[in-house]
Chain A
Amino acid sequence: MIRTKNPLLPYFFVAPLVLLLLFVFGYPLVQIFDFSFRRIRGIDGPWVGLENYQLILNQPLFHEAVQHNVQLLIAVPIILILSLIIAVILYDRVPGWRIYRTIVFIPYILAVPIVAVVLKKFFQYDGPFNEALRVVGLDLFALDWMGSPDLALWTVLSVIIWREIVFCIVLMLARLLSLDEEMLEAAQLDGAGWWQRLWFIILPQMAGVIEFYFVVSFITMIAAVFSYIFMIGKGGPGTSTMVLELYIFNFLTRSSLPGVASAVSVMLFLVTTVLILILFWVRRGEREQELA
């Protein structure tokens, strides 16, 4: 530790950080609560109580958006299971695993808006995906993946999985590479098979990183998929891919109703906070168990 003659010196070092965080996080996080109870026109407006919340809750479009975000949550377990399988195979150091790891990273090099545009064209009704299906005789499955309101959200979901899975694979592999190999070798000497090692030794040690990924990607699916949605179809066809972020975006930029947009922001913020608190709570429980 550095001992300073001036006891105020550390505060000079952290002051810019505090100011920046207060401006970009502090001010908005307080203000959304205030805004959500006002009818803001331009920059200010009268107190209207719960009117904004009532407006949202009575709007079918809001319910639809919530439902779509909830549907996107299906991506979380799918990504987790696929990533674990791939990471465990790579961890076994199958021949060529380094090359595989490099290639698996490719979706992450492409920015989300680029991924969204490319895959949108890829899944068009007369696009290459359907053409490939027709070539192999699966004409029956050559559907209008992007244009049909029943399918569009599922297509968006697979686009999201395609890119977001990279982060999960890399994360799981990094955790695997840090496991205690002696324990695994000891288990192998004791006659534990591949599945037994996976189930009783590897997976329990992965619990922490899995919980972490679960919470982070949960937040992603309900509040950080805007780039995909906006580039693929701006919520369309119709309202079939409307999500909460786009709902906020439209109320802010198109309808110019910051009060309503704030009410939705408040709800998203509260859900996020609850999720983080759950993660802290689960982790503390685990730590106490370890100490006991």
Chain B
Amino acid sequence: MNANIRDADYSESDSIPAERRRLTPGMVARQAVLLFGVFLALAPAGYMLLTAFKTKEEYLFDKIGLPDALVLTNFSEALVQNPFLLWMRNSAILAIGAVLLSTVIAALAAFAIARMQFRGRDLLLSISTSLMVIPPVVMIVPLFVLYTRLHLMSTFHGTIIIYAGLITPFSVYLLVSFFRTLPTEILEAALIDGASPLGVLWRVVIPLSGPPLVTLFVVNALYVWNDLLIALIFLQSDDSRTLMAGLSVFQGRYNNQIPLTMAGMVMASLPMLILYILFQRYFIRGLTAGALK
């Protein structure tokens, strides 16, 4: 499958042919399917948002309707009684640390793989690429035993290495395919001017790699931010807990206080929502980048 995926953001024509505007049964059916899909996609998010503003008593009698007033007590209570900000800080440290480490390592390797000749190059790329589909659960047991012995449990640097390892095959894959598209003349010109290969990578290649680097940042940071399995196993102490692991504690604590739970969920969704609004096109690009090769 050699799909040359056009970027979904550029390739759409806005003009709708006149025949498509007419109300045919087929058109009505299609709109109905899509509207139903929209309802399904929105209902849970809407439920979360509306419930977060209800009082406990109000929720008892009204589970679907709009809240009577925009009460913020659920949010303040959730924030005061739980270290949400600490959890978010920890998740951010892990996400940023792992993305930085992975990007540096992947950029160095991808540059050599895409632009230099050496034995074992193709083998290294295919091994790295196929590791993308190995589920993380397969690797955790030996790492758990090793980390216990090395006293790396509940440390950020230890866990950052694991996350960086898990996301790096995707980083390498994406950067190799991008570096291969760069025109050779630019690189050769820089080399003739006396730049070292490392200098070419740092001063010529990286500045040209804005879009793939942003895609990597978005996709990989999300992966680390959203992960639960590694976080639960390798960060067990209270002060190293991540947001997702924190949410599992949080939901258990307020089993019957659903509006309060939802307020916590809304707050936990905000960082990702902001990231999505800022980098919407990179989300979609990143989602398909690994798949359509």
- Asked if A and B are interacting partners, one says yes
Pick from B8, B109, B144, B146: contact of A14, CB under 8 Å: B109
Assembled-state Cα–Cα distance A135/B141 (Å)? 49
- Residue A142, interface by CB 8 Å: no
Asked, given contacts A103-B38, A171-B287, whether A109 binds B269 with beta carbons under 8 Å apart, the answer is yes
Q: Answer whether residue A62 sits at the interface, using C-beta atoms and an 8 A cutoff.
A: no
Q: Which of A43, A97, A110 contacts B272 (CB 8 A)?
A: A110
Q: Known interface pairs A1-B116, A9-B197, A178-B5. Does A114 touch B247 (Cβ–Cβ under 8 Å)?
A: yes
In the assembled complex, A48 has its CB within 8 A of some CB on chain B: no
Q: Does B86 contact A (CB under 8 A)?
A: no
Number of interface residues of B (CB under 8 A): 104
Select from chain A the residue with minimum beta-carbon distance to B184: A1
A24 touches B166 (CB 8 A): yes
Could you say which of A10, A28, A105, A112 contacts B284, with CB atoms under 8 Å apart?
A105
Residues of chain B within 8 A of A14, CB atoms compared: 108-109, 112-113, 118, 124
Contact B251 A117 (CB under 8 A): yes
B42 within 8 A of A: yes
* Chain B residues proximal to chain A, CB less than 8 Å: 1, 3-6, 8, 11-13, 16, 20-21, 26-27, 30-31, 33-34, 37-38, 40-42, 44-45, 47-48, 51, 63-64, 104-106, 108-109, 111-113, 115-118, 121, 124, 127-128, 130-131, 133-146, 148-149, 161-162, 164-166, 168-169, 172, 184, 187, 191, 197, 200, 225-229, 232-233, 244, 247-248, 251, 258, 261-262, 265, 268-269, 272-273, 276, 280, 283-284, 287-288, 291-292
Produce 1/0 per residue, A6-42, CB < 8 A to B.
0101110110111011011101110110010000101
Cα A216 to Cα B138 with chains together (Å): 16
Question: Interface size class for chain A?
Answer: 35 or more
On whether the beta carbons of B229 and A276 are closer than 8 Å, the reply is no
A72 within 8 A of B: no
Of chain B, the residue at the smallest CB distance from A260 is B141
Partner of B142, one of A17, A28, A127, A173: A28
Q: Give chain B residues whose Cβ lies under 8 Å from the Cβ of A226.
A: 137, 228-229
- A30–B261 Cα distance when bound, in Å, is 42
Alpha-carbon distance A269/B138, docked complex (angstroms): 6
A2 & B233 in contact (Cβ 8 Å cutoff) = no
Cα–Cα distance between A257 and B140 once the two chains are bound (Å): 13
Contact present for B142 and A177 (CB under 8 Å): no
- Cα A110 to Cα B47 in complex, Å, equals 13
- Bound Cα distance from A90 to B264, whole angstroms: 34
Q: Is there contact, CB below 8 Å, between B108 and A43? A: no
B42 lies within 8 A of A258 (CB): no
- Which residues of the other chain, B, contact A269 by a CB distance below 8 angstroms? 134, 138
Complex CA distance for A118 and B137, rounded to whole angstroms:
25
| The one of A209, A261, A276 that contacts B130, using a Cβ cutoff of 8 Å | A276
A55 within 8 Å of B (CB atoms): no
A92 within 8 A of B: yes
Report the minimum CB–CB distance from A274 to chain B (whole Å): 12
Given known A-B contacts A4-B116, A170-B284, A177-B5, A16 and B141 have beta carbons under 8 A apart: no
**Contacting residues, chain A, for B105 (C-beta < 8 A):** 16-17, 20
Nearest residue in A to B27 (C-beta to C-beta)? A94
Chain A stretch 82-113: residues in CB contact (< 8 A) with chain B: 85-86, 89-90, 92-98, 100, 102-113
Q: A231 and B116: CB pair below 8 A?
A: no
- Among A73-81, A143-151, A246-254, the stretch that binds chain B is A246-254
Cβ–Cβ < 8 Å partners of B117 in chain A:
1, 3, 10
Contacts of A220 in B (CB 8 A): 135
Interface of B is mostly: helix
Verify A118–B262 contact, CB threshold 8 A: yes
Chain A residues near B16 (CB, 8 Å)? 93, 95
If the complex has contacts A13-B111, A212-B1, A265-B141, are A128 and B64 also in contact, measured as CB distance less than 8 A?
yes
The yes or no answer to A162 lying at the interface (CB within 8 A) is yes
A-side interface residues toward B, CB under 8 Å?
A: 1-4, 7, 9-11, 13-14, 16-18, 20-21, 23-25, 27-29, 31-32, 35, 40, 42-43, 85-86, 89-90, 92-98, 100, 102-115, 117-119, 121-122, 126-128, 131-132, 135, 162, 167, 170-171, 173-175, 177-178, 194, 207-209, 211-213, 215-216, 219-220, 223-224, 226-227, 230-231, 244-245, 248-249, 252-253, 258, 261-262, 265, 268-269, 272, 276, 283, 286
28 A-B contacts (beta carbon < 8 Å): A14-B118, A16-B109, A17-B108, A17-B168, A23-B161, A23-B165, A29-B134, A43-B145, A43-B149, A94-B31, A96-B31, A97-B34, A109-B276, A113-B244, A113-B247, A115-B44, A117-B251, A121-B51, A128-B64, A171-B287, A177-B6, A208-B3, A216-B133, A227-B226, A227-B229, A252-B140, A252-B233, A262-B142
> B229 near A117 (CB under 8 angstroms)?
no
Chain B residues in 8 Å Cβ range of A207: 1
Q: A159: shortest Cβ distance to chain B, in Å? A: 9
* A249 / chain B contacts, CB cutoff of 8 Å: 137, 229, 232-233
- Please state if B165 and A43 are interface contacts (CB–CB under 8 Å): no
Q: Given the complex of chains A and B, what is the CA–CA distance between A42 and B229 in angstroms?
A: 21
Return chain A residues, CB-CB under 8 Å to B165.
Answer: 20-21, 23-25
Q: Is the CB of A111 within 8 A of B244?
A: yes
* B96 → A minimal CB distance (Å): 17
A25 near B287: Cβ-Cβ < 8 Å: no
CB of B20 within 8 A of CB of A20, answer no
B20 touches A93 (CB 8 A): yes
